[in-house]
Structure 1
Amino acid sequence: MSEPPHYELATIDLVLIGVYFLVVLGIGIRLAGKNHSAEDYFLAGRGMIWPLIGVSLFASNISSTTLIGLAGDAYDKGISVFNYEWMASVVLVIFAFFILPFILRSQVFTLPEFLEKRFDGRLRLYFSGLTLFLNIIVDTAGSLFAGALLMKLVFPELDIAVTIAVLAVVAGLYTIAGGLAAVIYTDALQTILLLIGAVVISVTAFQEVGGWSGMTEGIDSAQLSLIRPLGDPGVPWLGLLTGVPLLGFYFWCTNQFMAQRVLSAKNVNHGRWGVIFAAFLKLPVLFLMVLPGTMAIHLFPGLPDPNLVYPTLMFELLPAGLLGLVMAGFVAALMSQIDSTLNAASTLVTMDFVRRWKPDLDGATLMKVGRWVTGGFMVLAALWAPMIENFASLFQYLQMVLSYTVPPIVAAYVAGAFWKGANARGAWMGVLWGTGAGLVLFLFVGVTGWIDLHFLYVGPILFVISMAVLVIVSRSGPPPTEEKQALVWTKEFYRAESRELAEMPWWQSYRLWSVLLLISTGALVWVFA
C-alpha cells in the first residue's frame, strides 16, 4: 500500500485561510455583546428567518465529515451513499408537515425538553444524555478528525492529536463568544465558500476525466446506481427503505444540533420554509460531492485510504490562490459542524440539567454556564477524535454508531407524534428494551462479529422492538392527559391549518414547495436508479 501524498500551500493560500479564521472569530466577538439572556445565546432570540435557517441546516449537515465521507464512499463502493442525502428530502417534508409546528409552539429550548412535555422527565434526561454522547463522540469528533486528515496532507510532521486540538480551539472560541447567532451567521459565509469550492472541484474533475463518457468508462454500472441489491456492502435496497429513513429521522427531526436552528425560527412558517429550502440544497450534492469520488477512481487510482479522496482532489486539481479559497471552504465546513454541535451540547447541559436542578438561575447566569460547558466539550471532543483513525471509513463510523443507539428514541418520537395512546411508561419501557437490544446486537455484530448483519438492518430491528414494547405497555396503562395528547398530529389540526393557508399567497404555501421538492427528488433518483 502506498504512502499518503504530501502537499504544500502557497503563501496566498495560507493568507486566505488566515483571513477566513479572523473573519469568523470577529463575527463571534461582535455578536457576543448582543447576547443578554439564555434565549439570545442558545436560540438567537427566536428571531431567525427562513433563508438563514435553511443555509445553516445545509452547512451543518454538509460538513467536512460529509465531504470526505461521501467522496470516499463513492470511490470505494459507489454512488449509493447519496441515498442518505436524497432521503433527507422525504424526512424533512414529514418533519415540516407533522412535527415541526408542535415543537415550535411548545416554546422549548431542546428536543429532549419536548419529549418531557409529550411523555415525562425520564425520557428527557435519557435522550439529553444520549444526544450529548453522540454530539461529542460522533459529530464533533468526526469533524475534528476530518479536518486533521486534511491538515496532515499539508503538514505531515504534525501529530494528528495536536492538529485536532488547534482546530477545536478555533471553532470553540467564536461559538463560546457568540452563541447560536454566531453559528448561524458564520454558517451563511461558510456555505458560500463551501459551494464555490465544491463547484470548482466538480467541474475541474469532470473536465480532467473527459466528461461523462470518460467518467463511466471501465466503471461497473453498479457503482453508478442508487438502488442496490440486498447483498450490497454499501446501501442495500432493503436498508434504503428501512434503515436510512430511521437514521435520517433522528438526524433531521430529533438531533439537537440540527433542530436548534429550527427552534430559533421567528414563527412556524419560517421554520417550515427553512427546512424545505435546506432539502432543496441537498439535491445538487450528488454532482458536487458524490460523483467527484467516482471521477477520482480514474484520476487517482490506488489511494491508500478512501478518506483521502476529497483532499487529494483539492490539492491535485486546484491552482494556488484558488486552492486557498477552497481550503477555506473546507475549513468552513469543518467549523460549521463543530460550532453547531458544541452549541447544541452546551444548550442540552444548561437547559436540561443545570436549569432543572437550579431553576432559580437567571438567563445571564445560564448563558455563562453555557459558555463554560462549550469549552469543556471542546476538550472532550479533541481527546476522542484521534480514536476514529481506527475505523475503516469515516462515514461508516458515523452511520454505525447511530444505527445502534438512536432507533429507540425515534420510536418514541414517532409514536408520540401520531398516536394519542402512547403514554410515558410505554415510551420509557420501549427505550429501555430497545437500548438493551442495541447493546446485545452491538456485542454480537459489531464487536465479536458472530452475527453478520449490515448496520442498516440493525436500526429497523431495534425500532420494531422498541415500538412493540411501547404499544404493549401503553395499552396496558392509562392514556396520557389531554395536555399531552394536544401535541399529537390529527386530521382536525390539518383542516385548521388548511384554512390558514387558504388566506396566504399561493407561493407561501409550504405544501406546494414540499410537492415540488418530492417531484424533483423522485426524478433524480429515477435517473440514477
Structure 2
Amino acid sequence: MDTLQASMAGLDWIIVFGYLAGIILLGLIASRGQTDAKDYFLASRAATWPTIGLALIGSNISATTLIGLAGAAYTIGISVFNYEWMATVILAIYCIFVLPAVLRSQVYTMPEFLERRYSGSIRLYFSGLTIFLNIVVDTASTLFGGAILFKLLFPSLALWEIAAILAVTAGLYTALGGLRAVMVTEVVQTVLLLGASVFIAYFAFDKAGGWNQVMSQVDPEKLSLIRPNDDPGVPWFGLITGVPLLGFYFWCTNQFMAQRVMSAKTLDHGRWGSLFAGVLKLPILFLMVLPGTAAILIYPNLEKGDMVYPTLIFDLLPVGIVGIVIAGFLAAIMSSIASTFNSASTLVTMDFARKLAPTLSQAALVRIGRIATLVLMVLSIAWIPVIEKHADSLWQYIQAVLAYAVPPIVALFLAGLFWKRANATGARIGLVLGTATGIYLFIVIAVTETLNMHFLIAACVIFAVALAGVVAGSFLAPAPSLDQIETLMWKKADYDAETAHLRTQPLWQNYRLQALVLIGITAVLVWVWR
C-alpha cells in the first residue's frame, strides 16, 4: 500500500477549489477595517466563546494531528490519545488559575507576561524560543504532513514545493487579515474538519468489518490508554508527568493557542471558550484515533504509520466524499498554519520590533507583522527537508522536540503564578539550568543514544531541575515588589470573591461546574479505555 496511486474525480476537484476560493475570500472580507495593533493581533479583544472554542480546535488540529494520530494509533496504539484527553484537565486548570491573571494583565503576548513578572531578558528568550518552535515544530510539521498527502496526487512535485504552495495560500489571508481573519476562517474550517473526520471514521470501520470486529481482533494492548512504564509510546509515569507539562505549555503559554483566548471580550467568554474546546477534544478518539486502529485490520502491512490517513482517503472513500475530506484536510492545514503565522508575527512585532523602536506607529506595527508573516513562511518551508530526513513518526517528532525545549518555561510560569518570592534572578538561573539539562538529555537520549529514557520522563527531569534553579536562585536576590507582581499572580482572595459572585449566577453559567462535568466525562472515558 505504500505505492498507493491516488487520484481525484472532477467533482472532488471542484469541491476542493471551491473551498479554497471561499475560505480566502472569507478571510479577506473579515480583515476589512483593521487599522491598529489591537485589531490586527488580538481581533479587537471582542471574541465570544463559540468562536474561541472552535478557533482553539482549528489551531490545534492540523495536518500533523490527522496524519500523526492515525499513524501513531496504527503503530503504537490508542495511547496517543492521552495527549488529547489530558487537554481537558489542563484547560480546566487554565481557566481557574492562569487565565484571570493573563487577561487582567492586558498583554499582547505570553512572553510579555513573563517580562512583567520577571524581566525583559526572560521575555526575549521565551519569545525567541516560541518563534523557533513555531517554525520547526508547528508550521513546518503541518506543511510536511500536508505535503505527504498531496505528494500522492502530484508525485512529480517535491515535498518542499507542495509545502510552499500550501504556505503561500494560508499566508495570503493571514498577512492581510490578522487574527480576526484567522479566527473567522478557523470557525468554518473546524466545522468542515470535524464533519470530514466523520466520513473517514465511518468508512474505515465499515471496511474493517464493524466496531465489534475491530474491538475483538486488534491486539488489546493497542486498545489501552494506560500503558506500562516500558511502553515506547506513552509510559504511565510519562503520562502523569511529561504529558501534563507539554499540555500546560501548549494550551496555557504557547502564543498561537493563548492568543485566541486573549482576544476574549470578557473573562467568562475566555473560560467558556476554553472549556468548549475541551469538550471538542474528546470525540477525537473516535474520529481520528480509532480509524488508525481499524486500519490495522484493513492494511496490516503498511511500512509507515504516517501513510494510514492518506491511504484511508484514497482507497476507501467514494467520489464526492473524497473532495469533502480533502477540503477538510486543507481546512486543518490552513487554520493551523494561519494561526501560527499570525502568532509568530505578533511575537516578532510586539516583543522585538516594538521593544527596539517604542515610537512605531500603529500602522507601522501592522506592516511589520505582515512582513514577518512572509519571512516566517519562507523559513518554515526551508525546514521541510530536515523533517523529511529525520522524522520517522510525525507525531513523535513534535512531542519529542517539545519535551526537551519547553519544561523550563513551564517552571517559570508556575513559580511566577503561585510563589511571590520568585524573582528575575531565580528565573534566569532556572532557565539556564533547565535549558542546559534539556540540551544534555537530547544529546545522550536522541543523538548518541547512550541513555535509555523516554522523552516524556526526560521532560519531567528537565522541569524539576529548572524549578529547583528558580527556587534556589530566588533566594540570592531580594523578593520582587508586591505592587509589581500581584496582578500577575493567582490570589486566593480573588478566588474567594469569585466564589461568592458565582453563587448569584445561574448554574449553567458557572465555569467551575462546567469544568467539573468536563473532567468527570473525561475520567469515565479514560476508565473505559484504560
Is the pair's TM-score, using the shorter chain for normalization, greater than 0.5? yes
Deviation at 1:503, TM superposition (A): 2.6
Query: Moved runs in structure 1, 4+ residues, more than 4 A?
Result: none
Deviation at 1:28, TM superposition (A): 2.4
Deviation at 1:20, TM superposition (A): 0.9
For the residue of structure 2 that corresponds to 1:414, the secondary structure is helix
**For 2:177 and 2:333, how far apart are their aligned partners in 1?**
18
Choose 160-169 or 490-499, whichever is displaced more. Answer: 490-499
Choose 4-13 or 131-140, whichever is displaced more. Answer: 4-13
Deviation at 1:322, TM superposition (A): 1.2
**Structure 1: which amino acid aligns with 2:408?**
P
For 2:169, the equivalent position in structure 1 comes to 170
Note if contact 2:7-2:153 (Cα within 8 Å) is conserved in structure 1.
yes
Deviation at 1:444, TM superposition (A): 1.1
For the residue of structure 1 that corresponds to 2:488, the secondary structure is coil
**Structure 2: which amino acid aligns with 1:349?**
V
**For 2:173 and 2:438, how far apart are their aligned partners in 1?**
37
**For 2:299 and 2:496, how far apart are their aligned partners in 1?**
56
CA deviation vs aligned residue, 1:293-352 (integer Å, no higher than 9, x gap): 000001112112111101111112211111101100001001111001000010000000
Note if contact 1:32-1:179 (Cα within 8 Å) is conserved in structure 2.
yes
Which stretches in structure 2 are left out of the alignment for 5+ residues?
none
Check if 1:518 corresponds to 2:480.
Answer: no
CA deviation vs aligned residue, 1:130-157 (integer Å, no higher than 9, x gap): 0000001100001000100010111112
Check if 1:342 corresponds to 2:341.
Answer: yes
For 1:11, the equivalent position in structure 2 comes to 10
**For 1:485 and 1:421, how far apart are their aligned partners in 2?**
11
**Structure 1: which amino acid aligns with 2:398?**
L
**For 2:405 and 2:232, how far apart are their aligned partners in 1?**
21
**CA RMSD of superposed structures (Å):** 1.0
CA deviation vs aligned residue, 1:262-320 (integer Å, no higher than 9, x gap): 11000111000000000000001000000000000011121121111011111122111
**For 1:83 and 1:240, how far apart are their aligned partners in 2?**
7
**For 1:105 and 1:133, how far apart are their aligned partners in 2?**
27
For 1:328, the equivalent position in structure 2 comes to 327
Check if 1:67 corresponds to 2:63.
Answer: no
Deviation at 1:485, TM superposition (A): 3.2
For 2:456, the equivalent position in structure 1 comes to 456
Note if contact 1:4-1:304 (Cα within 8 Å) is conserved in structure 2.
no
Provide TM-score, normalisation by structure 1.
Answer: 0.98
For 1:299, the equivalent position in structure 2 comes to 298
Which stretches in structure 1 are left out of the alignment for 5+ residues?
none
**For 2:183 and 2:52, how far apart are their aligned partners in 1?**
7
**Structure 1: which amino acid aligns with 2:124?**
L
CA deviation vs aligned residue, 1:503-524 (integer Å, no higher than 9, x gap): 3222111001000000000000
**For 1:163 and 1:4, how far apart are their aligned partners in 2?**
19
**For 1:362 and 1:384, how far apart are their aligned partners in 2?**
33
Choose 42-51 or 437-446, whichever is displaced more. Answer: 437-446
Deviation at 1:217, TM superposition (A): 3.4
Note if contact 1:202-1:292 (Cα within 8 Å) is conserved in structure 2.
yes
Deviation at 1:218, TM superposition (A): 3.3
For 1:472, the equivalent position in structure 2 comes to 472
CA deviation vs aligned residue, 1:448-498 (integer Å, no higher than 9, x gap): 111111111110000000000110111232111112133221221111111
**For 2:224 and 2:251, how far apart are their aligned partners in 1?**
25
For the residue of structure 1 that corresponds to 2:453, the secondary structure is coil
CA deviation vs aligned residue, 1:365-405 (integer Å, no higher than 9, x gap): 10011001001100110111232112110001100100110
For 2:56, the equivalent position in structure 1 comes to 57
Deviation at 1:203, TM superposition (A): 1.5
**Structure 1: which amino acid aligns with 2:527?**
W
For the residue of structure 2 that corresponds to 1:217, the secondary structure is helix
Q: Call closer, same or farther: CA 1:108–1:425 in 2, change over 3 Å.
A: same
Q: Call closer, same or farther: CA 1:3–1:67 in 2, change over 3 Å.
A: closer
For 2:403, the equivalent position in structure 1 comes to 403
**For 2:517 and 2:247, how far apart are their aligned partners in 1?**
20
Note if contact 2:30-2:184 (Cα within 8 Å) is conserved in structure 1.
no
CA deviation vs aligned residue, 1:2-39 (integer Å, no higher than 9, x gap): 64311111011111111111112112222332211011
Note if contact 2:425-2:476 (Cα within 8 Å) is conserved in structure 1.
no
**For 1:380 and 1:499, how far apart are their aligned partners in 2?**
50
Deviation at 1:502, TM superposition (A): 2.3
**For 1:254 and 1:155, how far apart are their aligned partners in 2?**
38
Q: Matches of residues 74-473 of structure 1 in structure 2 within 5 Å?
A: 74-390=73-389, 391-473=391-473
For the residue of structure 1 that corresponds to 2:301, the secondary structure is coil
For the residue of structure 1 that corresponds to 2:450, the secondary structure is coil
**For 1:346 and 1:489, how far apart are their aligned partners in 2?**
29
CA deviation vs aligned residue, 1:52-92 (integer Å, no higher than 9, x gap): 00000011111110111110000000000000000001111
**Structure 1: which amino acid aligns with 2:468?**
A
**For 1:420 and 1:91, how far apart are their aligned partners in 2?**
22
**For 1:225 and 1:443, how far apart are their aligned partners in 2?**
31
**Structure 1: which amino acid aligns with 2:488?**
L
- Percent identity between matched residues is 54
**For 1:504 and 1:278, how far apart are their aligned partners in 2?**
22
Deviation at 1:500, TM superposition (A): 2.2
Choose 52-61 or 153-162, whichever is displaced more. Answer: 153-162
For the residue of structure 2 that corresponds to 1:486, the secondary structure is helix
Choose 195-204 or 480-489, whichever is displaced more. Answer: 480-489
| Residues matched between the structures, number | 528
**Structure 1: which amino acid aligns with 2:242?**
G
Choose 60-69 or 343-352, whichever is displaced more. Answer: 60-69
**For 1:94 and 1:14, how far apart are their aligned partners in 2?**
44
**For 2:268 and 2:359, how far apart are their aligned partners in 1?**
33
Q: Matches of residues 17-56 of structure 1 in structure 2 within 5 Å?
A: 17-56=16-55
**For 1:434 and 1:3, how far apart are their aligned partners in 2?**
41
Note if contact 1:31-1:177 (Cα within 8 Å) is conserved in structure 2.
no
Choose 451-460 or 28-37, whichever is displaced more. Answer: 28-37
Provide TM-score, normalisation by structure 2.
Answer: 0.98
